[in-house]
């Protein structure tokens, strides 16, 4: 292994409050502003600001996508986080990656809506950070040949996907590939990624504790050209709190990589360095979520499908309607499997998936009356 690519998703939804049936037709205040403010300020303090400072101090290269809903709320509730991202993006260590503005499922139901949301995001990134991204990463790594085709038509040169066994079919995610549309395709190494994002603080894991030298050795010993390590930015300081040693780990990684001759590259740099191994076809939609790595985290039960179909039919074409498209709202309705439900419960601001469904449907009904 000669290189690693660190990619991070930065996203926060506008969470809905408990919106009751009796409010329909009377109240149009849908969003849980108090809770959203509290969460943004906490994560900014625990994650965004200290992590970005550590990245700059230790010259850690990463490719990063930031959703429009995050940027809106960060400006409103935690402007210091926006300042930190600006400092990092100006450092020359990072590549900014595009996604849908509302972190939505638009790519799976309406191509024009998908294009409009990506265009809105690209224009916002130009205005906010002075960059025009040429790499694209769809919501929750949702990917297919058709999504790559649309991304190519919008001018993107590189697309990211999950490197699951059904996709690579005996190949390794540790190479650079091409999509069927001709874009460069980077496949997430989910095992190495999840070692940090999910298993780092798990005392029952056979490899606990995970140290920087151990992790660098795993990458060095793995066959292939590049390890694609894709995860939530909130891994640092939020999902894996400071007391786990996650910041000491991330600060030590560059030294261990350098000691073993492993380069940290952005997506663009890796695209230029490595030959494309072959073309990978993904006819069916995949994602990086849950054990099934498909659309089931958002459309896996009757509640989710009913809510999604009602949302699509509403077609209000305004900001509230598009905020309701944010994938998290459907994710909160998941009843999941025994392997995945703990993660869903961790993120869900409601007492249960059923409360999430009822509030969403009540909001949607009120919106339809306007």
Residues taking part in catalysis: 140
Strand pairing report for 158-162 and 226-232: unpaired
List of E strands, the chain: 3-10, 62-66, 94-97, 135-136, 158-162, 176-179, 184-188, 226-232, 263-265, 279-280
Cβ atoms of 26 and 82 closer than 8 Å? no
CB-neighbour burial class of residue 197 (10 A; exposed 0-12, middle 13-18, buried 19+): middle
- Rg, the chain, Cα only: 20
- Transcribe 163-210 into DSSP letters: --HHHHTTS-SSSEEEETTS-EEEEE-HHHHHHHHTTTT-TTSTTPSP
Q: Torsions phi, psi of 340, nearest 5?
A: -110, -20
* Rounded distance between C-alpha atoms, residue 3 and residue 157, angstroms: 20
What is the length of the chain?
370
- The C-alpha angle with vertex 198 and arms to 192 and 201, in degrees rounded to 5, equals 110
């Amino acid at each position: 292994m000669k290189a690693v690519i660190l990619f991070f998703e930065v996203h926060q939804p506008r969470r809905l409050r408990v919106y009751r049936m009796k409010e329909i037709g009377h109240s149009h205040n849908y969003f849980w502003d108090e809770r959203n403010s509290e969460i943004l300020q906490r994560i900014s303090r625990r994650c965004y600001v200290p992590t970005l400072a550590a990245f700059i101090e230790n010259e850690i290269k990463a490719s990063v996508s930031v959703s429009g809903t995050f940027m809106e709320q960060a400006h409103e509730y935690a402007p210091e986080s926006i300042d930190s991202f600006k400092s990092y993006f100006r450092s020359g260590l990072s590549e900014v990656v595009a996604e849908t503005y509302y972190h939505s499922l638009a790519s799976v139901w309406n191509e024009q809506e998908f294009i409009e949301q990506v265009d809105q995001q690209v224009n916002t990134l130009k205005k906010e950070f002075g960059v025009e991204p040429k790499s694209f990463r769809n919501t929750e790594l949702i990917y297919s040949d058709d999504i790559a085709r649309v991304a190519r038509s919008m001018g993107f040169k590189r697309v990211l996907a999950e490197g699951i066994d059904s996709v690579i079919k005996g190949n390794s995610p540790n190479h650079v590939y091409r999509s069927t549309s001709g874009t460069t395709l980077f496949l997430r190494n989910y095992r190495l990624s999840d070692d940090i994002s999910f298993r780092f603080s798990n005392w029952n894991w056979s490899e606990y504790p995970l140290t920087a030298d151990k992790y660098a050795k795993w990458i060095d010993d793995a066959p292939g050209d590049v390890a694609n390590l894709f995860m939530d930015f909130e891994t640092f300081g939020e999902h894996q709190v400071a007391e786990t040693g996650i910041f000491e780990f991330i600060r030590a990684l560059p030294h261990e990589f350098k000691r073993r001759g492993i380069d940290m590259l952005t997506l663009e740099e890796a695209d230029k360095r490595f030959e494309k191994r072959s073309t990978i076809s993904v006819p069916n939609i995949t994602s990086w979520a849950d054990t099934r790595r498909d659309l089931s985290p958002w459309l896996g039960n009757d509640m989710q499908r009913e809510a999604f179909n009602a949302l699509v039919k509403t077609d209000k074409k305004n900001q509230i309607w598009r905020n309701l498209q944010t994938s998290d709202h459907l994710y909160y309705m998941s009843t999941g499997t025994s392997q995945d439900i703990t993660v869903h419960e961790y993120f869900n601001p409601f007492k249960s998936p059923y409360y999430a469904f009822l509030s969403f449907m009540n909001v949607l009904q009120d919106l339809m009356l306007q």
